[in-house]
Every structure is written in structure tokens, then in C-alpha cells.
């Protein structure tokens, strides 16, 4: 097997779908199928089993796929070490970014960083903070930008803290909320627990949720267009002065907030590109970007 075979098997193992793997690898499906057959001929065993939807690996195929993942990991490590030995800021920075940060902060951060270090490349993975936490735990990325407090014993730096608030297109009294239309959105478990905990500490009724969406940005647009209120992070709605925004509080009277962190491994600081990026982030007021 060569590098391209490793990539093919790793992609198939991750997607369990020939069509999706072909798209990831920028190959046609017949080309991908031909390469699979070539490997099966070489090793003399079937590698995959086609199902009605997708594929599954044979035991022999799974061994090859796991070997391919290991070889890709080793290849990435040696490339990073060689780049680091050049004593310059170059190579590829792998970053995991939570959804809101990816949309509102990361593009400008990367543009500014590449202006300073034009020889770098960036691989960015976006998703829920829980997914970015898993990526940094598994060393799949060098740095993760994570919203919320996830278990972590390695290095982390607080980027900013924001209040959780009720944002509404019209003024309201707190006692009216259970009867007013609320727009809910899919979010990670930590944020849901914060919102649900606050709600049931203050109200005995369930909220009147009349619209549910899958993204906080869609939720925000629904609020702006007068369709209901929402409970979300202040930074999402702060640019809209026409909205009524009221922070929510703990029973102690302290505002309920959510922190955004930069997580990384101490050993990653040995890499020039990682160290340069972290030092670059420290020079910025990320919250106001």
C-alpha cells in the first residue's frame, strides 16, 4: 500500500460509503472501486462488503484500514517534525473550531495569521464543542476552540466570557415568558443543561416552543423577524440594538455566563507553527473581533 491507498481506506472507514469517500478524495466512484479491487487482488482477500446502504469492512479489511490510519498518523508526524526542524513558521496547522467561533471569529483570525506567516497552511474542522473536545483529546488537531467547560488536564487559555440572555423582538416581563412563543435550536449538551436548569429553577411550566431549528444563526434570524424569543449567548445578538436583550441569573444573583477556551497539548508547543499561533492569539482581543 502507498499513501493514496492509506487515504482511501481511512476515508472509507470513516464514511462507510463509497460515494462520500470518493467525494472526499476527489475521485470518481469507478476509480475508487477499481483501486479497492486492486488492493483485494494484491492481498487475496475481500476488503469491503457492499450493503443496501453503504459498506462494511471484512475483518481483513478492518485490519488494513486501521493500519492505514496508523500510517497516516505517522506520516503526518514526520512531516510536522521535518517542518519544525527548518526553524521557521511553516507547515500545516490543524484546528478544531466550535460552530459559532468558526462562523464569527475564525475567518478573520486565519486571515491575520496568514498575513503574518504566509508560508503556513491550515486545516480547519468545525462542529459542536463536544466534537472539538474529542478531537483535541485524540490529538487529531493541534488546537481546539471550545465553548463551555469540558474536562481537560492539559493547557487551556480563556479567550472571553459572555452572558447567556433572553433575546426578544418585543419587551416582556419575566413572568410572561412561559406563555410567549420561544424559538429553540439544536446545541451541545452543556448549553442545553444551562438553559434547562435556569428555566426549571424559575418556572413550573414547560416553555411554549413553537419553532425548532438546527442552528443558532437560524434561531437569531427568527427572533429578528419577530417570530418569538430565544435564550442564547449574548455575542450572537449583541449587534442588533432593535432586540430586547436581558441576561439571565443564577439564584445567587450572579449572571449566567459561558466561556470560550483555547485548548492545546503542552507538547504541541514544541512545534514552531503551534507556538506562533498561540502567541498570535494572545496578542488579540478575540471577543471584539
CATH code: domain of residue 32 = 1.10.10.10
Same domain, 137 and 264: yes
Both 191 and 233 in one domain: the answer is yes
| Lookup: cell for 51 | 450493503
Q: Using the 3D structure, point to which of 83, 111, 128 is the last residue of a domain.
A: 83
Give yes or no: residues 154 and 19 share one domain.
no
How large is the average pLDDT for residues 52-72?
Answer: 90
**Same domain flag for 45 and 167:** no
All 3 cell numbers of residue 218?
A: 437560524
Average pLDDT over residues 140-146: 95
What is the structure's pLDDT at 260? Answer: 96
Grid coordinates representing 4? 493514496
- Judge contact between 235 and 125, C-beta under 8 A: no
Using CA atoms, how far apart are residues 195 and 100, in angstroms rounded to an integer? 17
Name which of 104, 151, 99 is nearest 128 in CA terms. Answer: 99
Check if the beta carbon of residue 18 is closer than 8 Å to that of residue 29.
Answer: yes
Report the C-alpha dihedral over residues 225, 174, 165, 242, rounded to 10 degrees.
40
| Residue 132 sits in the same domain as residue 64 | no
Do 171 and 249 belong to one domain?
Answer: yes
What pLDDT sits at residue 151?
A: 94
The answer on 133 and 75 residing in a single domain is no
> Once rounded to an integer, what is the mean pLDDT over residues 194-215?
95
Poorest-confidence range of 13-27, 51-65, 73-87, 228-242?
73-87
Res 84 pLDDT > 80: no
- Which CATH number does the domain housing residue 243 bear? 3.40.190.290
**Do 74 and 185 fall within a single domain?**
no
pLDDT in tens, 1-37: 888 999 899 999 989 999 999 988 988 989 999 999 9
62-70 long-range contacts (CB < 8 A, ≥24 apart) are 62/13, 64/1, 64/9, 64/39, 65/9, 65/10, 65/12, 65/13, 66/13, 67/1, 68/1, 68/5, 68/6, 68/7, 68/8, 68/9, 68/10, 68/13, 69/6, 69/9, 69/10, 69/13
CA distances from 122 to 36, 59, 110, 142, 177 (A): 30, 35, 8, 11, 44
CA distance 184 to 220: 10
| Strand duo 91-98 + 120-127: pairing | parallel
**Claim to verify: residue 268 and residue 155 sit in the same structural domain:** yes
Least confident of 50-64, 85-99, 182-196, 219-233: 85-99
Count Cβ neighbours within 10 Å for each residue of 189-199 and write b for 16 or more, e otherwise: ebbeebbeebb
User: How much is the pLDDT for 79?
Assistant: 78
Q: Reduced to 3 DSSP states, what percent helix, strand and coil does the chain have, rounded to the nearest 5?
A: 50, 25, 25
What band does 80 get if pLDDT is binned at 50, 70 and 90?
Answer: confident
Same domain, 129 and 268: yes
Q: Is the pLDDT of residue 64 over 90?
A: yes
Q: Residue 287 carries which DSSP code? A: G
Domain end: 38, 60, 83, which one? 83
Q: Which residue has the cell 430586547?
A: 244
Mean pLDDT (whole number) for 262-271: 93
Confidence of residue 77 (pLDDT cuts 50, 70, 90): confident
pLDDT recorded at residue 85: 64
In whole angstroms, give the CA distance from residue 102 to residue 92. Answer: 18
**Cβ-based neighbour number of residue 204 at 10 Å:** 6
Mean pLDDT of the chain, nearest integer: 92
Task: Indicate whether 128 and 252 sit together in one domain.
Answer: no
The parent domain of residue 77 ranges over 3-83
Assessment of whether the complete model's pTM goes beyond 0.75? no
Task: Say yes or no to pLDDT of 53 above 90.
Answer: no
Query: 43 and 65 share a domain?
Result: yes
Q: Is the pLDDT of residue 86 over 80?
A: no
Q: Of 83, 105, 127, which residue constitutes the final position of a domain?
A: 83
CATH number at residue 119: 3.40.190.10
Interval 108-131: pLDDT, tens: 999 999 999 998 999 999 999 999
Q: How many structural domains is the chain composed of? A: 3
Amino acid at each position: 500500500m502507498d499513501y493514496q491507498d492509506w487515504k482511501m481506506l481511512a476515508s472509507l472507514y470513516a464514511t462507510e460509503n463509497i460515494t462520500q469517500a470518493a467525494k472526499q478524495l476527489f475521485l470518481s466512484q469507478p476509480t475508487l472501486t477499481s483501486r479497492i479491487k486492486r488492493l483485494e487482488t494484491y492481498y487475496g482477500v475481500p476488503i469491503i462488503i457492499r450493503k443496501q446502504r453503504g459498506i462494511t469492512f471484512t475483518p481483513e479489511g478492518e485490519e488494513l484500514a486501521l493500519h492505514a490510519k496508523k500510517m497516516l498518523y505517522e506520516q503526518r508526524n514526520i512531516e510536522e517534525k521535518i517542518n519544525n526542524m527548518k526553524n521557521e513558521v511553516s507547515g500545516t496547522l490543524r484546528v478544531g473550531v466550535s460552530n459559532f467561533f468558526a462562523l464569527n471569529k475564525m475567518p478573520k483570525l486565519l486571515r491575520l495569521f496568514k498575513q503574518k506567516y504566509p508560508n503556513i497552511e491550515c486545516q480547519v474542522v468545525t462542529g459542536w464543542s463536544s466534537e472539538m473536545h474529542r478531537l483535541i483529546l485524540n490529538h487529531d488537531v493541534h488546537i481546539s476552540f471550545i465553548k463551555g467547560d469540558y474536562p481537560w488536564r492539559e493547557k487551556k487559555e480563556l479567550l472571553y466570557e459572555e452572558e447567556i440572555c433572553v433575546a426578544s423582538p418585543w419587551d416582556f416581563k419575566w413572568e410572561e415568558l412561559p406563555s410567549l412563543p420561544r424559538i429553540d435550536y439544536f446545541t451541545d449538551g452543556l448549553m442545553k443543561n444551562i438553559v434547562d436548569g435556569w428555566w426549571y429553577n424559575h418556572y413550573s411550566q414547560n416553555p411554549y416552543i413553537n419553532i425548532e431549528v438546527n442552528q443558532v444563526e437560524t434561531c437569531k434570524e427568527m427572533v429578528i423577524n419577530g417570530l418569538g424569543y430565544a435564550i442564547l449567548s449574548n455575542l450572537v445578538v449583541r449587534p442588533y440594538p432593535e432586540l430586547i436583550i436581558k441576561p439571565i441569573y443564577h439564584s445567587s444573583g450572579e449572571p449566567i455566563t459561558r466561556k470560550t477556551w483555547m485548548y492545546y497539548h503542552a507538547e504541541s508547543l514544541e512545534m514552531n507553527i503551534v507556538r506562533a499561533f498561540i502567541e498570535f492569539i494572545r496578542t488579540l482581543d478575540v471577543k471584539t473581533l
